[in-house]
Amino acid sequence: MEVPWLLVAHGLVTALVVVSFLCGQWPIFEGTFVQSINHFLTFGAYHYLLRFVQVVCGNGARDLVLGVEQYCCDRPNPILQVFYVAIIGVTYFIFVQTSFKYIPGYYVSGWHRYLSIVAVAVGAILFVLTSFSDPGTVTAENVSQYVSAYPYDNIIFVEKECSTCKIPRPARAKHCRICDKCVARFDHHCGWMNNCIGEKNTRYFVAFLVWHFLLCVYGTVVLCFILAGEIKERKVIYILTGYQCLLRTCCLVQHEQPNKSAIKLNHSHMRIEFSCWRVKLS
């Protein structure tokens, strides 16, 4: 009986990474391995990498890694965008190679083959919209419109001029040092999108995050149903139950005959009848 161990490992690792990354800082996981995995994924892995590079290759190599980080994250370039596409492509390829041969299955219908393509395509569309849409660039031509849309409250936001663009800075706007432009309702600069997140593309960015969360949940659920179907079709539970009953019977025989030094069981001719259940394996 072939057990799809790669499929089992893929599903468990996916579920653990998603839960740890998204929920690792919740109070319920405080002091648990889930919190430790969250810290490792968000901070520890990069810190240990820098320490490893410094110990093995010296300070020069460590500075090189920091320089690559600065180039990828603090300058406008498509490296992280290409990396994201590679992650999605490799992950979907692994899913196809390990899971499609079990679709359709006992609990999973064949249309999941096509639904998975649609799910990945929607994520890619949201990625393109977030990356290449205007975040809400403030220019000398439209600054008056943004000032009217976002008035100053003279408490948190006061009237001031952007020292770089030399135009009035609307409330909630900020000059992005990476893109070198003022963005209305600025949230942050996303290296994965190679774009700022602002007034006009926040909806795409939030939809991108929510969709990828649902995509991870969908993939995990489908893998669990595939695994459950394989266990059902291969009668793994029945085999384990029969083996457990066999062990219990052997222990009972040994307990009832304590004076015998050894008990030899001929498994090829041994027949055990159970009154509670009968298993018939094809």
Active site residues: 190
The secondary structure of residue 109, as a DSSP letter, is -
Q: Output the DSSP codes for 230-273.
A: HHHHTTHHHHHHHHHHHHHHHHHHHHH-TT-S-----TTT----
The pair of three-digit structure tokens given for residue 57, joined into one six-digit string: 């290759």
279: part of which helix (H) or strand (E)? none
Rounded-to-integer distance, Cα 77 and Cα 66, Å: 16
- Alpha helix (H) ranges present in the chain? 5-23, 33-39, 45-57, 59-73, 79-99, 112-132, 143-149, 202-233, 236-256
CA distances from 1 to 106, 202, 233 (A): 17, 51, 11
Rounded-to-integer distance, Cα 56 and Cα 62, Å: 10
Rounded-to-integer distance, Cα 235 and Cα 124, Å: 39
